[in-house]
Structure formats: structure tokens, C-alpha cells
């Protein structure tokens, strides 16, 4: 599977991607607001293996994808679209070397388009930690509406974590 934007190719993972993914998924700053990480090599290899296995399940419900720059083929992050009936969750994570370039907004927009136009979803949502102002801003830029603040709804990294939840409905999406 390949999704193309103006600057990026978003594609299925390959086994050899693990070391590049590990370079940012093992970074404490990158994983500061995630529910996982920083990853050990084993965690990253397991993530890649599970992502590859999901490519062969039909119908496909988990789309864990590599984000690469078209002109250089550099792997700069990953994103996901995980389908739950007529709903799906999107997510994204980037190497800090590529923060602040609009890549998250570009990726999130194309995931919405793919989910609504290609798959026929009704609602797409995303979550972020309340401290992750950048991610919340991306969700707002792509037209998602804040649905609420989930208080201490998940335990991760030895403490209870809050999340903001955002969503967009198919009739609200403009491509």
C-alpha cells in the first residue's frame, strides 16, 4: 500500500525499516507524550513485525505505515489508521529532526481522505496527552473537533494518563 502527498510517500513497513524507526522511537523526547516508549530494540522489532503481519489480514483493520520523504526516501516517521467498524483512529509520530515542517498536518489530512474516500468511514478520531500542544494543534488544523478530556483513563509509564479526544465526521471533511 502506498499513499502519496505532495512531499511524502506513506507506505507499508518493510523488515529493514526497524533500525530507522528505532532511531526515533527510542528517543525520550519523541516518546514524551506517547503511551509507549522509549522503545528497546526488541519493542521496535516487535512493532515492525506486527505491522507487517497486519498487512496480510483481510479485511485490513490496522494500517501502521512508514512515512518517507519522496525526494530522498528518508524514513522520517510513522502513522496509523486503525479501523473499528465505521470509525477509525489516526495517529502519527516523527523523528524530532522533522518537527515543525508541517509533515504531521500533511499526513493527518491524507489519512482522513484515505479513511473517508477510500474506505468509507463515518468518523475518525485521535487522542493526545493534554501537554502535547503541537499534536492538539494538528488535530484542530485538519478540522477535528475536541470532544473531551478523558481523565486518568489509561495507565502508562507508571502513572495514570489523561487524553484529549478529537474527531471529525465524514460530512465535516473537506478534501
**Residue 175 clears pLDDT 70, i.e. is over it:** no
Q: What pLDDT, on the 0 to 100 scale, is given for residue 174?
A: 80
| Residues in Cβ contact with 95 at an 8 Å cutoff, skipping those fewer than 6 apart | 23, 24, 27, 30, 76, 77
Q: CA of 9: how far to CAs of 36, 66, 140, 148, in Å?
A: 25, 8, 23, 32
How crowded is residue 37: how many other Cβ atoms within 10 Å of its Cβ?
Answer: 21
Closest among 27, 15, 20, 84 to 51, alpha carbons compared = 15
**Residue 153 clears pLDDT 90, i.e. is over it:** yes
Split at pLDDT 50, 70, 90, the class of 131 is very high
Closest among 123, 122, 146, 120 to 135, alpha carbons compared = 146
**Residue 71 clears pLDDT 90, i.e. is over it:** yes
Report whether 112 contacts 124 (CB < 8 A).
Answer: yes
Question: pLDDT (tens digit, 9 = 90+) per residue, 79-120?
Answer: 999 999 999 999 999 999 999 999 999 999 999 999 999 999
Split at pLDDT 50, 70, 90, the class of 1 is confident
Q: Considering the entire predicted model, what is its pTM? A: 0.95
Helix (H) or strand (E) holding 82: strand 75-84
Closest among 112, 116, 78 to 95, alpha carbons compared = 78
User: Is the backbone of residue 36 left (phi > 0), alpha (psi -120 to 50) or beta?
Assistant: beta
Question: pLDDT (tens digit, 9 = 90+) per residue, 2-53?
Answer: 999 999 999 999 999 999 999 999 999 999 999 999 999 999 999 999 999 9
- Spell out the domain ranges in the chain: 2-122
Give domain 2-122's CATH superfamily: Gcn5-related N-acetyltransferase (GNAT) (3.40.630.30)
Q: What pLDDT, on the 0 to 100 scale, is given for residue 137?
A: 97
Amino acid at each position: 500500500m502506498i499513499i502519496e502527498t505532495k512531499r511524502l510517500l506513506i507506505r507499508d513497513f518493510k523488515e529493514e525499516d526497524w533500525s530507522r524507526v528505532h532511531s526515533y522511537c527510542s528517543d525520550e523526547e519523541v516518546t514524551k507524550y506517547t503511551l509507549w516508549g522509549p522503545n528497546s530494540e526488541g519493542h521496535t522489532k516487535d512493532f515492525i513485525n506486527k505491522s507487517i503481519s497486519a498487512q496480510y489480514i483481510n479485511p485490513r483493520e490496522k494500517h501502521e505505515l512508514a512515512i518517507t520523504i519522496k525526494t530522498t526516501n528518508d524514513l522520517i516517521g510513522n502513522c496509523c489508521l486503525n479501523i473499528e467498524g465505521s470509525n477509525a483512529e489516526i495517529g502519527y509520530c516523527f523523528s524530532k529532526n522533522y518537527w515543525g515542517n508541517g509533515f504531521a498536518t500533511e499526513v493527518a489530512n491524507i489519512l482522513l481522505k484515505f479513511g473517508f474516500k477510500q474506505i468509507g468511514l463515518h468518523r475518525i478520531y485521535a487522542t493526545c496527552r493534554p501537554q502535547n500542544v503541537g499534536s492538539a494543534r494538528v488535530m484542530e488544523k485538519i478540522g477535528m473537533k475536541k470532544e473531551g478530556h478523558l481523565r486518568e483513563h489509561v495507565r502508562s509509564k507508571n502513572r495514570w494518563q489523561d487524553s484529549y479526544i478529537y474527531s471529525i465526521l465524514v460530512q465535516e471533511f473537506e478534501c
